[in-house]
A and B are shown apart, each in its own frame.
Chain A
Amino acid sequence: MTDLADLSILQAGDGLRAGNFTAVDLLTAHLRRAAVTESHLHAYLVIDRVGAMEAARAADEALASGDERPLLGIPVALKDNMVTRGVETTAASQILAGWTPPYDGTAVARLRAGGAVIVGKTNLDEFAMGSSTENSAYGPTRNPWDTDTVPGGSSGGSAAAVAVGSAMGGFGSDTGGSIRQPASLTGTVGVKPTYGLVSRYGLIAFASSLDQIGPIARTVADAATMLEVIAGWDRLDATSYRGDVPEISGSLDAGVGGLRVGVVTELSSEGIDPQVIDATVATVDRLSDAGAEVVEVSMPSTDYALSAYYLIAPAECSANLARFDGVRYGLRAKGETVEEMMAGTRGAGFGPEVIRRILLGTYALSAGYYDAFYGQAQRVRTLVRRDFAQAYQGVDVLVSPTSPTTAFPVGARSTDPIAMYYSDVCTIPSNLSGDPAISIPVGLDDAGLPIGFQVMAPALGEELMFRVAAEVERGAEFTARAPLASSEVVEA
């Protein structure tokens, strides 16, 4: 019999509604999977057994009365920068050690209202700053495909949990690729929705103009279902989109016949691992075979996107993280004066990468430097938006690799920030433009590590994006599972 932890959300939903198993059974299977994998992975910072079991029992009651909400009884994992009432939330930082929020973020509240079972809070790079989940104050997360490699980041914990089966779906946040890049490195599907489609209320801010919550799942259809539950206007987030939520999962089977697909030249050549290029080309060929018209698209500004991002995101974070001062919550260092207390708290509470970015951002915004750095970066951002808008005049979607490489060894880039920053070269442009993008697994490299393929669409073009993603998924026939997900291996 199939382990319940290996089902997709849609399959599990069918099984729950058919009465083949209960939500408690489903949760138990995932907790068991966590029990055998966590010592290898460290995907979770907190597993909320009590809360999850309560939610599963409540889901079973609702199921018994014929409730058909799509995520009812589904065990999900939340990145630990999503604020959860009553469950410790630290964003993997010492500075928030022990902080138990008095409120739920909007996405969290919508998941609870949708009957989802929150298994726990997953590991991340501290405050979502990183591409490997090594920058966690509580120790790194490892990749279930090869525990000597990283799962990507910053949503590495959620990606690893979904890949290994200790959660059926995971939620992350994507500021420069933090959902898509770990999805790519763990063989999962990761979505960065259109900026504003999902409320950021209750997401611990890294870079407000770029952050977006999105799902990580094992199938495109699962990801669509998860996104539908959390998307939509929220009066608590002034930047949330006020219009109707676009159709997301309505056209997954519609195919790509007649669609124009643009391959972004700048994101699919230089600096990309040849095996990743090969997989990308093969995927594009399959799209062509399925009836899409494929064209090459040049977006020159993407060459500067990475640099612009590493000014804009740190600048915003320098202000967003100013509130962690020891005055109202979290860590408080001792000091003779208030300045000493604040400086001491921040020095002790923030890790080196967070401090690096706060300093970068503070510098970029300083009098005399603002124009040359922050101002210039904003101009590049405008150019990136213009490039995308222009590209979408000629094509329906854009495609590229998600990550320049597959999973890299733990420690390989942790002493070289620039090499680490380059991990997000293909994903950052969509954050700067605010448009949606999705990563779908399309194959394995020679080392048996997953390769991801990225589909980008114009703002609010989720329906089209998922439609193409579903075709990519069908064509790739990616059925491999992370070795660690197989319990025999673990027990051997």
Chain B
Amino acid sequence: MSLTSPAERPPTATGPAGDVGGPARVGTRRAGPTRRRQGPLWLMTPGGALLLVVVVVPFVLALWMSVTDLDQYTLRQWAGAPFLGLGNYVEAFTSGPLLHSVWLSVAFSVLTTVLTLPLGIAAAFAAHDRFRGRGLVRSVFLIPYVLPTFVVGTVWRIALGPDGAVNTVLGSVGIDGGNWLIGGRTFWTLVLVDTWAAWPFVYLLCLAGLQSIGREVHEAVAVDGASWWQKTVHIVLPSLRGPLLLAVIIATLHHLNNFTLPFVLFGSPAPDEVNVLPIAIYSTSFQTFRFGLAAAMSVASLVLVLIPLLFYLRAVRLDTGLEKGAQA
């Protein structure tokens, strides 16, 4: 880590960099063909500072809380809560619902992501093409996503009740809808409702990705006379790789942390079939007031999720962008 000369600083700097900028770290890593070693790193300071204050510091505090016996009795003097070491973690793994909840959460998130992908891609393809009323269709596609999760949950809970609108409609075609909100089917209710609400996320990312495919690429394909399927598989989807991988990761993580939807649909305590992590943690934290234990559960689940995530990131090489640079 060495400092660059002040001359590297852009003379026309307009950002809030004046006093904080300047020192820029120089990398020793391999550089892509077009990468500069010295860059205006100060441009990252506002974002970095925000992340530090709003995410990193609270996260460290949360880590501390997870190794203390923070509960209703010690909350007032939280800094002095008895140190437990890994006690909370041991309790979470041995006697809590943690492992069951992790499994449920992962299954739910992955399933939902898998279901939203084809919907989002198909929607993006359809909305990409030019046709009359395209703007309207694009907006309609966004509606499930712009409805606050709370509203989505409430509406579906009302509609999925035993005498709700869904069973009324099913009944009119001779199907007995049964129970959506209690018992074994609740897991699938959660998956379906979240799929309904979340597919526009994939759609929007995918649509933006499509915009970056140049007209001349399309024209070249048209001249080649490839079928739409060949074009999709060989040209369009590969160029959407970045946005789609990003969508998959972010969507999965969002489902994983979705508290509002299961909470509104099923409440807490939830049926065992939908006792997903956020619900289990909420219950530990706000219904039995074991804040330290809840923090430990959060951290443990975070680690359980992060490990496969990092392997995935390495495997898909989404983050380095080196191979992409080489292709360009």
The answer to whether A and B come from one shared complex is no
